[in-house]
């Protein structure tokens, strides 16, 4: 994983965020956990779609907001979760999703702040934030303990 801790970039279009995800895939080893943290419309699904494409997944990657978690197979397995409808870590655990932390492949979690207290320490956290310009998004990559203050 060649993402420096605290790396910060700004993207100016959907395609740039997709490309950011695509590029991220090349540096990932199996058993990577990626927490995507940011409000609705920040670009979490877009980044996850780029990441999936970078992992060689050719089928469409849709938002798992209604299914909680979707599985794909590419260069390695890809698991894409959306926890918007999950309130806390105990609901996540009740669904057995913590099992995916130990799976081979890449596990990407939208709304990961909902389970901040149980994210494994090796989780790569990616914070996305819309900026004043309608199509601009700030993206910050962090490793280590979650910094969740909202
Ligand atoms: N720089 C950008 N990065 C990502 N998405 C952008 C950007 N600029 C505009 N958009 C638009 O914002 C929306 C992001 O949606 P999505 O990726 O589903 O967000 P989330 O999963 O965080 O709710 C899309 O409609 C996309 O076209
Ligand atoms: Mg989404």
For residue 1, pLDDT over 50 is answered with: no
The mean per-residue pLDDT over the stretch 33-48 comes to: 98
Does residue 149 lie in a domain region? Answer: no
Does residue 148 lie in a domain region? Answer: no
CATH number at residue 114: 3.40.50.300
Q: How many domains does the chain have?
A: 1
Q: Which of 22, 46, 129, 131 to mutate to test the pocket of ligand 1 (most atoms within 8 A of CB)?
A: 46
pLDDT at 143: 84
HSE, side-chain direction, 13 A CA sphere, residue 92: 25
Does residue 84 lie in a domain region? Answer: yes
- Which residues neighbour 95 within 8 Å (Cβ) at sequence distance 6 or greater? 68, 86
CA 59 to chain centre: 18
Joined tokens for residue 41: 């419309």
pLDDT at 146: 52
Could you report the per-residue pLDDT of 58-85, keeping only the tens digit for each? 999 998 878 899 999 999 999 999 999 9
Does residue 31 lie in a domain region? Answer: yes
The average confidence (pLDDT) of the chain is: 92
Q: Is 46 in the pocket of ligand 1 (CB under 6 A)?
A: yes
Ligand 2 centre distance from Cα of residue 30 (Å): 23
Range of the domain at 20: 7-143
Does residue 139 lie in a domain region? Answer: yes
Ligand with smallest separation from the Cα of 82: 2
For residue 147, pLDDT over 60 is answered with: no
Q: Is 45 in the pocket of ligand 1 (CB under 6 A)?
A: yes
Does residue 70 lie in a domain region? Answer: yes
Could you report the per-residue pLDDT of 91-122, keeping only the tens digit for each? 999 999 999 999 999 999 999 999 999 999 99
Does residue 46 lie in a domain region? Answer: yes
For residue 21, pLDDT over 50 is answered with: yes
Which residue has the least CA distance to atom 11 on ligand 1?
Answer: 14
Does residue 1 lie in a domain region? Answer: no
Banded model confidence at residue 4, pLDDT cuts 50, 70, 90:
low
pLDDT at 2: 44
pLDDT at 150: 44
Ligand with smallest separation from the Cα of 80: 2
């Amino acid at each position: 994983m060649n993402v420096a801790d605290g790396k910060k970039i700004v993207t100016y279009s959907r395609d740039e965020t997709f490309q950011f995800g695509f590029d991220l895939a090349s540096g990932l080893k199996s058993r990577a956990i990626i927490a995507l943290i940011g409000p609705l419309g920040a670009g979490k699904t877009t980044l996850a779609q780029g990441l999936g494409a970078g992992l060689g997944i050719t089928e469409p990657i849709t938002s798992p907001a209604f299914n909680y978690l979707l599985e794909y197979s590419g260069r390695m397995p890809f698991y894409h979760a959306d926890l918007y409808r999950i309130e806390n870590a105990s609901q996540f655990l009740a669904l057995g999703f913590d099992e995916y932390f130990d799976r081979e492949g890449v596990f990407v979690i939208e709304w990961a702040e909902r389970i901040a207290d149980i994210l494994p320490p090796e989780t790569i956290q990616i914070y996305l934030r819309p900026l004043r310009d309608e199509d601009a998004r700030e993206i910050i990559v962090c490793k280590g303990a979650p910094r969740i203050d909202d």
